[in-house]
Chain A
């Protein structure tokens, strides 16, 4: 699934990064627990989360997660935006809840990790 499709399906807006990045996202992981994100082996994923802090961006930087979807329009501060831009991470914001965003993306073909 292209990033553009994730944006369309979840009515998301682009907060940081290049949404035209030529990557194909096949799987998604929904979590607020960064410790859990750090244990994932697969990395071409979109992370759906309700946690919006600098450590979220640091965690996805280390775990090589290319796309993050912030649920319920959680605000990203300047530092998060700057860090995401610096590391080529696409940061999106959706008005949907984690449950709804996960459901819509699952229904449209994104696979779970576990």
Chain B
């Protein structure tokens, strides 16, 4: 039976960033998933979580543990992405100085999510919201 976990993510709060990914990691370890796969899943999830913290006002991250695959949907309320293709380019970033000082915002997040996942979909409405979905097969 599929297991679903939902997390609320607060934009701008770097102290809480990673909490959802951490809980998901612990669940995957508990489920005895192979460590290399766990790393791919949690790195992609953490990048997606960080994107909400760095760019949006708030978001809901939903993780689904299906029998054959794992999915994450992150739906945020925020500024949206004007040009998704451009945002996917390694090195392109609109991150603030504060985000960069934390060691992020190098424009590597979305391409890293793509690298670690089997399926990636991003939909965005400028000025309103962005939804990111990815799938990784076990």
Contact = CB atoms under 8 A, between A and B. Distances in A.
B102 A38 contact: no
A56 interface: yes
A51 B104 CA distance: 11
Contact of A55 (B47, B102, B106): B102
B18 A58 contact: yes
A36 B108 contact: yes
Given A62-B42, A64-B35, A35 B105 contact: yes
B17 A62 contact: no
Nearest to A53: B102
Contact of A39 (B21, B105, B112): B112
Contact of A35 (B14, B17, B22, B108): B108
Contacts of A56: 103
Contacts, number: 65
Contacts of B45: 62
A7 interface: no
B22 A61 contact: yes
Contacts of B22: 58, 61-62, 87
A108 interface: no
Interface in B12-51: 14-15, 17-18, 21-22, 25, 35, 39, 42-43, 45-47
A59 interface: yes
Contacts of A64: 35, 39
Contacts of B35: 64
B4 interface: no
Contacts of B39: 43, 62-64
